[in-house]
Amino acid sequence: MKKDAIKNIDKSSSPKPSGMPRRDFFKILGGGIIIFFRPWHAVELLALPGDQARSLPKDYNAFLQIAEDGTVTCFTGKVEMGQGIITSLPQIMADELNVKLESVKMIMGDTDLCPYDAGTWGSLSIRAFGPFMRAAAAEAKRVLLELGSEKLGVPVAQLEAKEGIIKSIKEPDKSVTYGQLAKGRRIERFLDVKPEVEDYTKFFYVNKSFKHADAIVKVTGEAKYAGDLKLPGMVYARILRPPSHGAKLTTVDVSGAEKVSGTQVVRDGDFIAVLNENRYRADKAIGEIKAEYSFSERPVNDKNIFESMLKAETTPRVVRTNGDLETGRQLSTKIFESEFHDPYVAHAPMETHTAVAQITGDKITVWAGTQSPFGLQDSIVRELGLPREKVRVITPFVGGGFGGKSPSQQGVEAARLAKMTGKPVMVVWTRDEEFFYDSFHPAGVIKVKSGIDNSGLIKLWDYNIYFSGTRGSETTYDVPHATTTSHSTGRGLPPMHPFATGAWRAPNNNTNCFAREVQVDIMASAAGIDPLEFRLKNLKDQRMIDCLKSVAEKFGYVPGKNPTGRGIGVACGEDVESKVAHIAEVRVDKSTGKVQVVRVTCVQDMGLCVNPEGSIIQMEGCITMGLGYALTEEIFFEGGNITDRGFDTYEIPRFSWLPKIETVILDRKDQPPHGGGEPAIINMGAVIANAIYDATGARLFRMPMTPARVLEALKKV
């Protein structure tokens, strides 16, 4: 085929690669049809906030390749960490391109091969990356149809594409496969505009359930995570850690470590590590280092942190406002004031932060369990002073993230040690390190003042967030006079949190839903109206109304004025454009304060659902994980010292906690897909608190709702 038959090939303006030289890129990929996108569309199309979109103009990025054997390879900077996009993204690709699902292969999280992506978070893979990938597939199909038309001598309009074969509609024996069309060619196309994509309703694979594509390798132990790599001459590193955030090394004696057979001790300022081919000996050596520290701790701990937050000098920022609060107060006949507390919570993925770094020639390759391979690449570039094209990050399977692996300090540590020693180095954080260096879900205080009129309509909503985030703080209900204000430390003042905090599955929405939905329950109870009816009465958002009605039906909800003694709670909320409503049933042991969640029913409107079974699994995961922050999870600390660093004291959900879980995904094929990895976790604190109230009349304003706190609340009934 003559090259000029394909338009848009303009080699002179092809952007320069940043990851690897163009020739190497093609050496790896081979030939075929390759769709790139112009990087300046990345910001718009990948919906990256300005500060996350690094400067891209020199990059070029491939989206998909159709190889000579007909295999379709998708490149994505997103990673697979259990959320299931290794299964659902190919469904979208197969449909848009009209190929069999099994012919789609995924290459994920490799900074040399994949298009730039800020990170796998915010349930963005399907809703933000998906349309982009579909556009590339649509463009590829257009190229294939043009090639097919030329090959078969049939106009494009008279061709159809199905299962990787282009056929003449009128003469079906005239056909050619995608592989045959790609053979012996190297066709590059650059997406300049976002093409129109087909309606999802025409699709075959989308909106059907498929089992995890990675299940077999995960049940046989073949699936490779970063720690499963073994490179020739590789050494394990253990790094000397301070006992507390804010501790400073004063004296150190490493002679004991040097005596452990085969150990190399390296030092760069306060960064001290032992290296040994044998993990057991590396562990032993690190224990032989004698170090002393000076401490400058802030006098905060898990008990006084909330008080410190309220006393701190803060800069209020109005997040959103409508009407005016004074009018709201005048229209209200009953006013309610509450203060809610939510502590620091750990991510605690089963795979601790792990990375391997290897230097080959002048290039460093780092394999890491990370949610942000490009973010890690940037960190290594910055901290090691290397040019970006000399740093490659590859992401094998990730053993759970939940937001905690967006920061990937372990990858920088491995890279630094590889640079210092020239050896391949593996860093596997211990569980203790994982708890110490986690970027915790931030603690926060929420103060709400709200009011209702005589008919039970909410007229006032004055919502104040102290030191936690604003996601999920939408008023949700139809309130004429509402203001949401965020209070945090102003510039130049010391930070409130004594250690790193960050995104934790549905960041801050768990805190905000807890406060909002408990406050709404308080008002419903005071108005003498059933809590579900009270919500419906105050809602205008049809999608939320549908979720609530549907969850009531699924649960078999019988209205009652709480507390009814039944132990049934209601909550609803929104996250990543999806809406969710939960009803939970609990049993409370009044003598011990122990809460057992018996049943949780959840309805989710997530727009079009690509893989229903996969999404249900995410909902079940959210509900199960959410039991933890609701009932037990809390980081204990004294200044910068995390005093709780293992699964012996930090309790995460276990099998015996399991409620009966029922899930429904509303049929919304007419809508674009919304997020699915996080929404179903947001109501778990509130729905359990409301169910405890319904069971006992005790109100909980503080998570987690431990037996001691339940007993305390019962005393006030």
Binding site for another protein (CB under 8 A): 81-84, 211-212, 214-225, 227-228, 230, 278-280, 347-352, 397-402, 428, 430-431, 613-614, 617, 620-625, 646-648, 652-656, 658, 661
Beta strands at 72-76 and 61-66: parallel, antiparallel or unpaired: antiparallel
Q: Judged by CB, which is closer to another protein: 189, or 505?
A: 505
The SS3 assignment for 314 reads strand
Q: Judged by CB, which is closer to another protein: 217, or 717?
A: 217
Q: Judged by CB, which is closer to another protein: 156, or 350?
A: 350
Q: Judged by CB, which is closer to another protein: 173, or 648?
A: 648
**Are residues 39 and 56 in contact, defined by beta-carbon separation less than 8 angstroms?**
yes
Length of the chain: 717
CB of 499 to another protein, least distance (A): 20
CB of 280 to another protein, least distance (A): 5
Q: Judged by CB, which is closer to another protein: 82, or 115?
A: 82
CB of 625 to another protein, least distance (A): 5
Tell me how far apart the alpha carbons of residues 683 and 690 are, in angstroms, rounded to a whole number. Answer: 10
Q: Could you report how far apart the first and last alpha carbons of the chain are, in Å?
A: 82
Listing DSSP states for 600-629 in one string gives EEEEEE-SS-S-HHHHHHHHHHHHHHHHHH
CB atoms within 10 A of CB 37: 24
Q: Name residue 177's amino acid.
A: T
Tell me how far apart the alpha carbons of residues 376 and 119 are, in angstroms, rounded to a whole number. Answer: 10
Q: Give phi and psi for 235, each to the nearest 5.
A: -120, 150
CB of 610 to another protein, least distance (A): 15
CB of 546 to another protein, least distance (A): 25
CB of 399 to another protein, least distance (A): 3
Q: Judged by CB, which is closer to another protein: 328, or 349?
A: 349
Q: Judged by CB, which is closer to another protein: 281, or 579?
A: 281
Q: Judged by CB, which is closer to another protein: 455, or 656?
A: 656
Q: Judged by CB, which is closer to another protein: 504, or 637?
A: 504
Tell me how far apart the alpha carbons of residues 46 and 41 are, in angstroms, rounded to a whole number. Answer: 8
Burial 94-124 (b: 16+ CB within 10 A, else e): bbbbbbebebbebbbbbbbbbbbbbbbbbbb
Tell me how far apart the alpha carbons of residues 573 and 579 are, in angstroms, rounded to a whole number. Answer: 6
CB of 624 to another protein, least distance (A): 3
Tokens 């163009």 belong to 22
C-alpha triplet 79, 134, 680: angle, nearest 5°: 50
Tell me how far apart the alpha carbons of residues 264 and 533 are, in angstroms, rounded to a whole number. Answer: 68
CB of 478 to another protein, least distance (A): 33
CB of 704 to another protein, least distance (A): 16
